[in-house]
Amino acid sequence: MNNTAQDIPFHARHDDELLTLDDVAEILRTPANTVRWWRQEGTGPEFFKIGRRLYTTVGDLRTFIRAQRLASASVLGQPKAV
Task: Count the domains in the chain.
Answer: 1
> Where in the sequence is the domain holding 36, given as residue range(s)?
10-77
3-state secondary structure of 66: helix
Residue 30's domain is classified under what CATH number? 1.10.1660
Q: What band does 32 get if pLDDT is binned at 50, 70 and 90?
A: very high
Q: What is the mean pLDDT of residues 21-42?
A: 96
Distance in angstroms (rounded) separating the CA atoms of residues 78 and 67: 17
For residue 3, pLDDT over 70 is answered with no
Share of the chain above pLDDT 90, in %: 63
Examine residue 3 and state whether it is found in any structural domain, yes or no.
no
Over residues 44-67, the pLDDT tens digits come to: 999 999 999 999 999 999 999 999
Q: What is the mean pLDDT of residues 72-77?
A: 71
Examine residue 23 and state whether it is found in any structural domain, yes or no.
yes
Q: What is the mean pLDDT of residues 8-13?
A: 77
Cα 59 off chain centre by: 9
Cα 77 off chain centre by: 24
Examine residue 38 and state whether it is found in any structural domain, yes or no.
yes
